Amino acid sequence: MKNMKNHISLTALCAISFILFGCSSHTLFQNGTSTYSIVISPEASETEQYAALELQNWISEVSGAKLPITDLSGGQKGKRLIVGYNSLVKELQPESEKPSDRDDSFTWCNMGGDILLWGGSKRGTLYSVYSFLEKELGVRWYSSKVSVAPKQKKWSFDKLYNHEKPDLQIRDNCVLDVRNNPVFSARMRNNFVRIPSLEEGKTIPGSAEGYWACTLWGVSSLQLNITTNIPSISALLTANGKTNTLSCACQIPTF
């Protein structure tokens, strides 16, 4: 109930912002240039720093403009992409509460010209960035090697708001390209344990065991019940003498 009230409050704040600022349009980029900055906290987690870099890279791919990344004291008010939950988010969204580190839900919205993207510091903020890039700028990741960043001369916005919460706590994908490539896995919002890709040759954000992984250590038995008409797997786990039921998404490709 408390989370529902907070969600309603955030929606109301965004609506009030829209009324106060009217229908004035804000331009993120135009003709290969931008007056915006990406802002993160000095205490930003490794994932949030990586999220800022991903946002910078893909906006550049779409627009040709490379936005600078700065700390909370930098950037011009009304010209900021604020990544991660920090004091600026709290200031602009006073009804919001800091999510837990491993909270995979996320929000992105605007307050005037500022765009706020936040979630849990382990995964949620990165998911917020990926969702924004997909839904607003049309970026697509079809595999670890195939992506699309549609070129745009100008992108403007009036009102932005999106909030998502995964229905499944543990999310895995049966496609080997996802399992073997931690970057692509993160873009698909999977959070199972990952092994660094041999091509990458190093540990990167998203690949370190336990970093944004939901591990299954200590499990003594595993029983899978697979239904043929629904592409999902229900796992009955017995660990430490207790029985828990978990659901894992398994995307099955069709040919």
Query: What pLDDT does residue 213 have?
Result: 41
Model pLDDT, residue 181 = 84
Q: Tell me, what's the pLDDT at 244?
A: 42
Report the C-alpha gap between 197 and 186 in whole angstroms: 13
Token couple for 110? 């605007």
Buried b (16+ CB within 10 A) or exposed e, 192-212: bbbebbeeeeeebbbbeeebb
Rounded CA separation 41/45 (Å): 9
C-alpha–C-alpha distance, residues 48 and 129, integer Å: 10
What is the C-alpha to C-alpha distance for residues 76 and 78, in angstroms, rounded to an integer?
Answer: 6
Start-end of CATH 3.30.379.10 domains in the chain: 2-164
Residue 170: which H helix or E strand, with range? strand 170-171
Predicted pLDDT at 18:
46
Average pLDDT, consecutive stretches of 10 residues, N- to C-terminus, the chain (255 residues): 53 50 79 98 93 97 98 93 97 95 95 97 95 98 96 97 92 83 88 56 45 38 35 36 41 34
pLDDT for res 230: 35
Overall fold of domain 2-164:
Chitobiase; domain 2 (3.30.379)
Four-CA torsion 165, 4, 160, 183, nearest 10 degrees: -20
Which is it for the CA torsion 209, 57, 188, 87, positive or negative? Answer: positive
